[in-house]
């Protein structure tokens, strides 16, 4: 946690915050701060700055907050991500958020097992929590726009044409032979498949919607590794 994320509801006065639970424990047990110490804080959806620890008790802490700096800009990047298996989902969401991806759309694909959609990790509270962990990691305060599309074909055929307007649409597909472009200056819409990849028919479906298949090289990477490598290459 490189930034303690605050919510509007944490404020008791204009600059006074009271925290309990996970954030209290983190400040006390991981940061090991004492009364008088400063730490970096941010307001969800707002600015960031520093806070001074005014009070640290067993059940709560209190902060005096000064928000005077902006958060880092988002990358102009929409990520269309085949739903990863539950064990990987949390890490990928936090990682994509930390990288600054502006919009994440979780979609179905042939190799996404049906059970993934029923995982408790798909509950909204968990999805939000993972994004918040990513913000705290990257010292950001602005959530990505996270959306879910359970059906791939209607999404690609009906929604994507409007979504990709003004962006370069790319689909990561090992074996395409086309290197992923570097240092893009336009916004990008990037589709990333499940473990095992998109089916050829799925790549064609994206292709008909205007997506160019690209790859990082001959190596097949895990989704979380590929995602960071692709975003870094494109950025």
Question: Could you list the residues that contact its own copies (CB under 8 A)?
Answer: 2, 72, 94-95, 98-100, 137-140, 182-183, 216-222, 224-233, 235
Of 137 and 176, the one with the shorter C-beta distance to its own copies is 137
- CA dist., res. 108 & res. 124, Å (int): 17
The H or E element spanning position 98 is helix 86-99
- CA dist., res. 220 & res. 226, Å (int): 8
- CA dist., res. 227 & res. 235, Å (int): 12
Q: Output the smallest distance, CB 84 to its own copies, in A.
A: 14
Of 175 and 210, the one with the shorter C-beta distance to its own copies is 175
Q: Output the smallest distance, CB 227 to its own copies, in A.
A: 8
Of 97 and 205, the one with the shorter C-beta distance to its own copies is 97
Partners of 105 in the β-ladder: 80, 147
- For residues 47 and 70, the answer to whether their CB atoms sit within 8 Å is yes
Q: Output the smallest distance, CB 235 to its own copies, in A.
A: 8
Q: Output the smallest distance, CB 194 to its own copies, in A.
A: 13
Q: Output the smallest distance, CB 107 to its own copies, in A.
A: 22
Of 119 and 137, the one with the shorter C-beta distance to its own copies is 137
Query: Where would I find the beta strands (DSSP E) of 57-129?
Result: 61-69, 75-82, 101-107
- CA dist., res. 49 & res. 8, Å (int): 15
Burial per residue of 127-145, b for 16 or more beta-carbon CB atoms within 10 angstroms, e otherwise? bebbbbbbbbbbbbbbbbe
Of 118 and 222, the one with the shorter C-beta distance to its own copies is 222
Of 78 and 95, the one with the shorter C-beta distance to its own copies is 95
Q: How far is CA 37 from CA 22, 52, 178, in A?
A: 19, 6, 52
Q: Output the smallest distance, CB 122 to its own copies, in A.
A: 22
């Amino acid at each position: 946690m490189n930034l303690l994320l605050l919510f509007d509801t944490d404020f008791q006065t204009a600059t006074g915050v009271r925290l309990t639970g996970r954030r209290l424990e983190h400040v006390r047990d991981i940061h090991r701060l004492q009364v008088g110490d400063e730490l970096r804080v941010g307001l969800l959806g707002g600015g960031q700055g520093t806070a001074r620890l005014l009070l640290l008790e067993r059940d709560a802490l209190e902060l005096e907050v000064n928000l005077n700096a902006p958060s880092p800009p988002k990358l102009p990047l929409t990520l269309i991500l085949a739903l990863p298996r539950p064990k990987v989902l949390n890490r990928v969401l936090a990682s994509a958020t930390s990288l600054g991806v502006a919009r994440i759309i979780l979609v179905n694909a042939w190799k996404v097992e049906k059970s993934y959609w029923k995982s408790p990790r798909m509950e909204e509270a968990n999805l939000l929590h993972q994004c918040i962990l990513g913000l705290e990691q990257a010292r950001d305060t602005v959530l990505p726009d996270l959306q879910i599309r359970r059906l791939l074909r209607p999404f690609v055929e009906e929604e994507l044409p409007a979504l990709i307007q003004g962006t370069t649409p790319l689909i990561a597909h090992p074996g395409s032979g086309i290197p992923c472009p570097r240092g893009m200056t336009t916004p990008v819409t990037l589709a990333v498949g499940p473990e095992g990849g998109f089916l050829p028919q799925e790549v064609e479906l994206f292709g008909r919607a205007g997506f160019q298949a690209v790859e990082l090289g001959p190596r097949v990477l895990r989704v979380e590794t590929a995602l960071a490598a692709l975003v870094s290459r494109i950025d």
